Amino acid sequence: MSYLEFLGQYGDRILSGTLVTILLTVLASMLAMAIALAAGLMRMARSPIVRGVAVVYIEIFRGTSLLVQLYWIFFVLPLFGITLEKFTAGFVAVGMNLGAYGAELVRGAILSVPRGQWEAALALNMSPAKRMVRVILPQAVVIMLPSWGNLLIELLKGTALVALIAVTDLMFQVKQINGTTFLSAEAFGTALIVYYVLARFMITPFMRWLERVMQRRLGRA
Amino acid sequence: MLDWRWDFTWDILPRLIAATGNTLLAAGLGYAIAVVLGLVLALAQRTPYRAVTIVVREAVEFIRSTPLVLQIFFVFYVGPQFGLRLSPWAAGMIAIGLHYAAYLSEVYRGGLESVPKGQWEAATSLNLSTARTYFRIIIPQALPPSLAGMGNYLVGIFKDTPMLSVIGVAELMHTANAIGSETYRFLEPYTLVGIIFLALSLPTAALIRVFEAWVRRKLGMY
């Protein structure tokens, strides 16, 4: 079978898998950003209890494998009475894992906003919440955006693991195709190229664009 | 609701600990491949031949932006299609070694670029060959700034070894899956795997930080 015939026959399955992968990536990155922001801010809280919760969360999710977390959320969490549908379990696991890595980026970025900005906001009598939202966070976002670009590529790669709990993403589809046709080079090779295209020609340009927009909004471009 | 069974826990713990040995072996072997191959990939991007630089650069980008689990499948299944049969271990080590070699080559690249140009000029004026300059002058100075990144990826490769279970390498995750399907109990095996990973990766990360600080002090850099 030529490669074109292969694409003709299995193209729609690969396409549907790709769409699931994109959907997973979008949902997981929204979850990861929310968790990263919350855990990153909690990590710097004054209360040791709040700080402790964030540290434990970050260390657990950074200290173990995504695959272990995925299996745990999918197979063990139901024993605690929380049953997640496999698609939900998939993006929740990926989002929670990358959120823990993102939390450290958020913390690092906030800490690297110049001290003078904090002092100026204090001098203007801003409340701590207003200071964070109006002065510190917008500058922190610009600082951490380049690292988030790398993190989102890691996230995209992480979504491939959800195929192992039978979410029908790109990885799952090509695994199935490989199982029935044994055309491994075509099936897995196509998936490799699709992932590469998603990472290099969608995520990276999108993040570059976002960096430019954010810098312009801060009047730095 | 939750019923943690301690007798079952003690039953399966020896099996899981034995499998931990395989996990550590896989991480160690993969890392050894990655450390050497990564240096090759980094040096290949510094040759005077632009074509070599571009090809290697693109290959590194490609490997870095595609999922490791897919690469493991690719290496394992594509070989037999062309008459080359690889054992799960061999395929797994090639895939994970290559993946982390791509990451480490970026770390080395940063380290190599941080060596001042004057070092090259001094080596040229002493009539050292390129190879000698690299191995005696440049690489020893490029290593200390690379140590932090190298340490992170050592922990990283350890945490990625569970992906080898998909092609049947009998490491920790594979064993936990086997226990799960034999006994229909997932709580204890998966939780224990998580605890074993935490118990190994947290101290390792801390040790690496101590080691890095020690090297910096030894070399008189802060």
Residue A194 is encoded by which pair of tokens? 């699709």
Q: What residues contact residue B17 under an 8 Å CB cut-off, 6+ apart?
A: B196
In chain A, where the domains are located: 3-110+142-217
**Residue B81 pLDDT > 90, yes or no?**
no
If you average pLDDT over residues B177-198, what whole number do you get?
A: 94
A118, two tokens: 């904090």
CATH of the domain at B188: 1.10.3720.10
- CATH level 2 (architecture), domain A3-110+142-217: Orthogonal Bundle (1.10)
Segments of chain A scoring below 70 in pLDDT: 221
Interface test with B, best of A67, A96, A173 (most B CBs within 10 A): A67
What local confidence, expressed as pLDDT, does residue B3 receive?
Answer: 84
Confidence check: pLDDT of B112 > 80:
yes
The label of the residue with tokens 């195709």 reads A177
**Residue pairs spanning A and B at CB distance below 8 A:** 118
Per-residue confidence (pLDDT) for residue B218, from 0 to 100: 80
pLDDT value for A30: 97
Nearest to A195 among B67, B73, B166 (CB): B67
Tell me what pLDDT residue B83 has: 83
Q: Which of these, A19, A36, A23, lies nearest to A148 by C-alpha position?
A: A36
Tell if the CB–CB gap between A79 and B187 is shorter than 8 Å.
yes
Predicted pLDDT at B133: 94
pLDDT score of A50: 96
Q: What pLDDT, on a 0 to 100 scale, did the predictor assign at position B144?
A: 85
Which residues in chain B are closer than 8 Å to A68, comparing Cβ atoms?
A: 162, 173, 190, 193-194, 197
pLDDT tens, residue by residue, A131-156: 999 999 999 999 999 999 999 999 99
Between B104 and A182, name the one with better pLDDT.
B104
Show the tokens assigned to A117.
């900005």
Q: Which domain holds residue B37?
A: 6-218
> Token pair of B158, please?
């350890």
Closest chain B residue to A189 measured between Cα atoms? B74
Q: How confident is the model at residue B1 (pLDDT cuts 50, 70, 90)?
A: low
Sign of CA dihedral B13, B19, B24, B27: negative
Closest CA of chain A from B217, distance in Å? 25
Q: Whose CA is closest to A95, among A72, A68, A56, A61?
A: A61
Q: How far is A109 from chain B (nearest CA, A)?
A: 19
The nearest alpha carbon in chain A to B62 belongs to A196
Q: Which of B32-41, B79-88, B155-164, B166-175 is least confident? A: B79-88
Chain CA centroid to CA B121, Å: 34
Number of H helices, E strands in chain B: 9, 0
How close is the nearest chain B Cα to the Cα of A79, in Å?
Answer: 6
Q: Are A102 and A40 in contact (CB under 8 A)?
A: yes
- Residue A157 to residue A146: CA distance in whole angstroms: 18
Asked whether residue B221 carries a pLDDT value surpassing 70, the answer given is no
Predicted confidence band of residue B222 (pLDDT cuts 50, 70, 90): low
pLDDT given at position A221: 58
* Residues with Cβ within 8 Å of residue A85, at least 6 apart in sequence: none
pLDDT of B175 higher than 60: yes
pLDDT band for B213, please (50, 70, 90 cuts): confident
User: Does a structural domain hold residue B1?
Assistant: no
Burial of residue A66 (CB within 10 Å: 0-12, 13-18, 19+) is buried
Angle among Cα A104, A106, A108 to the nearest 5 degrees reads 65
Report the residue of chain A nearest B196, measured CA to CA.
A64
Identify which of A159, A20, A41, A50 has the alpha carbon closest to the alpha carbon of residue A102. Answer: A41
For residue range B6-35, what is the model confidence (pLDDT) as tens digits?
Answer: 999 999 999 999 999 999 999 999 999 999
pLDDT at A1: 74
What's the total number of domains in chain B? 1
Residues A91, A82: Cα–Cα separation, whole Å? 15
pLDDT of residue A2: 87
